[in-house]
Amino acid sequence: MVDYGGCKRHIFRMEEVIERQLDLPGVSVVLGTIRWGSVEDVRPRFDGYNVCQRLSGDHAPLRIGNLGAREAFRRVRSIGFLPPDCAIRLYPVDGPFRVINCVYERKWFENTTGIDAGFWEAHTRDLVSIRNRRLEVLMQDIQAEMEQPGFQHEMLVASTTSMMLVELARYFHELAAPRGASGHGLAPWQMRRIEERIEAASQSGYPSLAELAELAGISQSHLMRGFKASTGWPIHKFIAEERLRAAKQLLAKEELNSKEIANRLGFRNPAYFATAFRRMTGKTPSEYRREARAGVFGPN
């Protein structure tokens, strides 16, 4: 079993409040909030393979000082990955960092995925921040079950963490494939370009399929097939969900009116924005804003 608590006490130079912890054979799941404000770098280490997801939204991405990638957890629901005994420098963030961690025992992880820690050294940049919608959804399912345990709670969490291992193994094998290899899904570098462009859409406008296909160096039909194979989502649905997420954040935290939000997110007019928002959430933008600011929906 992973000694996550011991890891926290002796290695983290930060304050951590654990909300829920579940220790299962081969994996520990921990839901909590971390704060650190010192200028001094933080060097967390884990005895096992750690898959973690950002849950908080009130801060910038985490800055990393000693790896190929400069930052991690660029948005809410972002996935990060660290192998055993990997030290990283994390610069302080301007607020509490809420996160869920799944820490897998080394032997179980490597036997199940067929991947060992050496793979990390060759693919550090793509593993610090994993862009995989299926993993994001699986981690969300675990978070929901941890916060509101139901019947056969432990069995559900255990089965979901096992599904994550399968998804990670597929991601790793796709990452190791030559860039030109003929697979069904998109290469990680293609997914990274596509998602970065969609994430920037609230400032630069939502991209067309033609623009995304050009970024990935493929045809539009290849883009649609490959994106769904890689994520399980049709690309138009993925864009719609990202648009909805951005709308919820703007309604909850900004003083923009519906017309301004509609313009920022690329809707034809406020009426079309209101119709689309209600179709996807069951609430009007005004209703959602009122409930979000009253704290009905809880933390991010």
pLDDT tens for each residue of 211-270: 999 988 888 888 998 888 877 788 988 888 888 888 888 888 778 888 888 888 888 888
Cite the DSSP H helix spans in the chain. Answer: 4-11, 106-113, 118-122, 124-128, 133-147, 153-176, 188-199, 201-204, 209-216, 220-231, 235-253, 258-264, 270-281, 285-293
Q: Are both 143 and 115 inside the same structural domain?
A: yes
Domain of 253?
Answer: 237-293
Q: Are residues 14 and 130 in the same domain?
A: yes
DSSP assignment string, 148-171 = S--TTHHHHHHHHHHHHHHHHHHH
Query: How many CB atoms lie under 10 A from the CB of residue 185?
Result: 18
Contacts (Cβ under 8 Å, ≥6 apart) of 207: 197, 198, 201, 215
The residues, ordered by sequence, that sit 6+ positions from 38 with a Cβ below 8 Å of its Cβ are 13, 92
Q: Can you give the pLDDT at residue 102?
A: 95
Read off the CATH number of the domain in which 58 is found: 2.60.120.10
Helix axes 285-293, 235-253, angle to 10 degrees: 60
- pLDDT digit string, tens, across residues 36-58: 765 445 555 668 899 999 998 77
Here the CATH number for the domain that contains residue 284 is 1.10.10.60
Question: What's the rounded Cα separation, in Å, for the pair 234 and 224?
Answer: 7
pLDDT digits (tens, 9 = 90+) for 48-92: 899 999 998 777 777 776 665 667 777 888 898 888 877 777 776
Q: Are 38 and 13 in contact (CB under 8 A)?
A: yes
Instruction: Return d(Cα 204, Cα 264) in angstroms, integer.
Output: 9
Structural domain total, the chain: 3
Residues 148 and 17 in one domain: yes
- The reply to whether 163 and 268 lie within a common domain is no
Alpha carbon distance 176, 15 (integer Å)? 37
What is the per-residue pLDDT across 187-220, written as a single tens digit (0 to 9) for each?
Answer: 878 888 898 888 888 777 788 888 999 988 888 8
Fill in the amino acid letter for 237.
Answer: K
Give yes or no: residues 135 and 41 share one domain. yes
Q: Contact at 8 Å (CB) between 249 and 293?
A: no
Kindly state whether residue 93 falls inside one of the protein's structural domains.
yes
Does residue 46 lie in a domain region?
Answer: yes
| Residues 35 and 86 reside in one and the same domain | yes
pLDDT at 12 over 50: no
Q: CA 106, CA 2: separation in Å to the nearest integer?
A: 9
**Predicted pLDDT of residue 162:** 94
Please tell me the distance from the alpha carbon of residue 45 to that of residue 2, in angstroms, as a whole number. Answer: 12
- The answer to the question of residue 182 being in a domain is no
| Residue 145 shares a structural domain with residue 199 | no
What pLDDT does residue 119 have? 78
C-alpha distance from residue 298 to each of 106, 147, 293, 295 (Å): 34, 11, 10, 5
Both tokens of residue 294?
């009253």
For residue 181, being part of any structural domain is answered with no
Q: Is the pLDDT of residue 101 over 90?
A: yes
Q: Residue 101 falls within a domain, yes or no?
A: yes
